[in-house]
Amino acid sequence: MLLHMSNSAREAQSTPLHSVSVAGAVVREDGRLLAIRRADNGTWELPGGVLELTESPEEGVTREVFEETGVHVEIDELTGVYKNTSRGVVALVFRCKPSGGGERTSEESTAVEWLTPEEVVERMSGVFAIRLLDALDGLGPHVRSHDGRKLVSG
């Protein structure tokens, strides 16, 4: 028995599925950057997470940063778009400045610290450190792809 697929079914089957995440590159007046140590895997990253269907990217960033760190932020600008080619995740990174609240851990973070750019490079994998460094250079928005471990071209 032959099964026939409609054009829309074929298109839906071949359409790649992506997840959109947002992250805050929160920069303090002294140039230090807000970072968390993730509870699920112990890695250092910038605060962020999956964008909910009903929220704007800006709303998602302010929510995620506050949920993970206790810090309220004001958004300055989009500084980069980063695609994880192995997981199909597209991350939008916004440079922000702190506007209140106070640092605290959450279910998603076991540490919250303000790091120097040098500490960011020491503690974070390259695919996450570059997001914070890109936010500092003022040349964005940057568009980069990575495979989860290293940046890839194209």
Residue 127 lies in a domain: yes
Residue 89 lies in a domain: yes
Residue 6 lies in a domain: no
Distance CA 132, CA 62 (A): 16
The pLDDT of 27-56, averaged and rounded, is: 96
Residue 88 lies in a domain: yes
Q: Which of 1-15, 70-84, 138-152 has the lowest mean pLDDT?
A: 1-15
Residue 31 lies in a domain: yes
- Quick one: pLDDT at residue 151? 87
pLDDT, averaged across the chain: 90
Number of domains present in the structure of the chain: 1
The pLDDT of 60-73, averaged and rounded, is: 98
- Quick one: pLDDT at residue 51? 95
pTM: 0.87
The residue ranking higher by pLDDT, 153 or 49, is 49
Domain housing 70: 17-148
- Quick one: pLDDT at residue 148? 86
Residue 8 lies in a domain: no
Residue 51 lies in a domain: yes
Q: Is the pLDDT of residue 153 over 80?
A: no
Sequence-distant (≥ 6) Cβ neighbours of residue 99 within 8 angstroms: 72, 73, 74
| CATH number of the domain bearing residue 31 | 3.90.79.10
Write b or e for each residue in 79-113: b if 16 or more Cβ atoms lie within 10 A of its Cβ, otherwise e: bbbbbbeeeeebbbbbbbebeeeeeeeeeebeebb
Residue 90 lies in a domain: yes
- Quick one: pLDDT at residue 1? 43
